[in-house]
């Protein structure tokens, strides 16, 4: 009986861990982002790095003159907080003004809420990026 209880507990813990990890990885994919200052669009790819944190790079730009930003990593160090169901402790870098902001991410239906701020999240800006099903092709 003790062996059965131990086996049941082991299966439960493994399943719970796998489900939590699967939920955390739900952020991975492509999003359409509009720069809040220039109003130019780009596509962002979010992925999990080798340290288990989430990052984002520019993988398509609307303005062909901005091709130098392709593969630019501007989202860094996000960790999944299962209790709050959001990605925290990250940073977002805006290459246009050269500033880096604290940030958190939250999946909101079929879009991603991106909040960048200075100090506390009360003093910041939110953007909503719709999810896209596949990578855009750069011209």
- 138 within some domain: no
Task: Give me the number of domains the chain comprises.
Answer: 1
Alpha-carbon distance 105 to 76, whole Å? Answer: 11
Alpha-helical regions (H) of 36-117: none
Classify residue 137: in a domain, yes or no.
no
The answer to whether 25 touches 18, Cβ cutoff 8 Å, is no
- pLDDT for 10: 46
HSE-CB at 64 with a 13 A cutoff on CA atoms is: 3
In a domain, 56, yes or no: yes
Q: Is residue 98 part of a domain?
A: yes
The answer to whether residue 17 is domain-embedded is: yes
What is the model's pTM? 0.82
Residue 60 in this model has a pLDDT that exceeds 90: yes
CATH number at 78 reads 2.40.128.520
Domain span at 127: 2-132
pLDDT digits (tens, 9 = 90+) for 69-123: 999 999 999 999 999 999 999 999 988 788 999 999 999 999 999 999 988 777 8
Residue 55 has pLDDT above 70, yes or no: yes
Return the H-helix or E-strand segment holding 8. Answer: helix 2-24
25 is a domain residue: yes
Token couple for 123: 């003093």
Domain-located, residue 21:
yes
Pairwise CA distance, residues 91 & 57, whole Å: 13
């Amino acid at each position: 009986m003790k062996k059965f209880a131990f086996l049941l507990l082991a299966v439960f813990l493994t399943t719970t861990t796998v489900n939590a990890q699967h939920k955390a990885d739900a952020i991975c994919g492509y999003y359409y982002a509009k720069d809040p200052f220039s109003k130019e669009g780009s596509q962002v790819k979010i992925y999990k790095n080798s340290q288990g944190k989430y990052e984002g790079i520019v993988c398509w730009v609307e303005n062909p003159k901005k091709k130098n930003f392709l593969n630019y990593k501007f989202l860094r160090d996000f960790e999944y907080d299962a209790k709050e169901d959001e990605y925290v402790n990250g940073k977002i870098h805006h290459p246009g003004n050269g500033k880096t902001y604290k940030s958190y991410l939250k999946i909101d239906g079929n879009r991603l809420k991106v909040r960048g701020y200075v100090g506390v999240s009360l003093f910041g800006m939110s953007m909503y990026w719709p999810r896209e099903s596949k990578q855009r092709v750069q011209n």
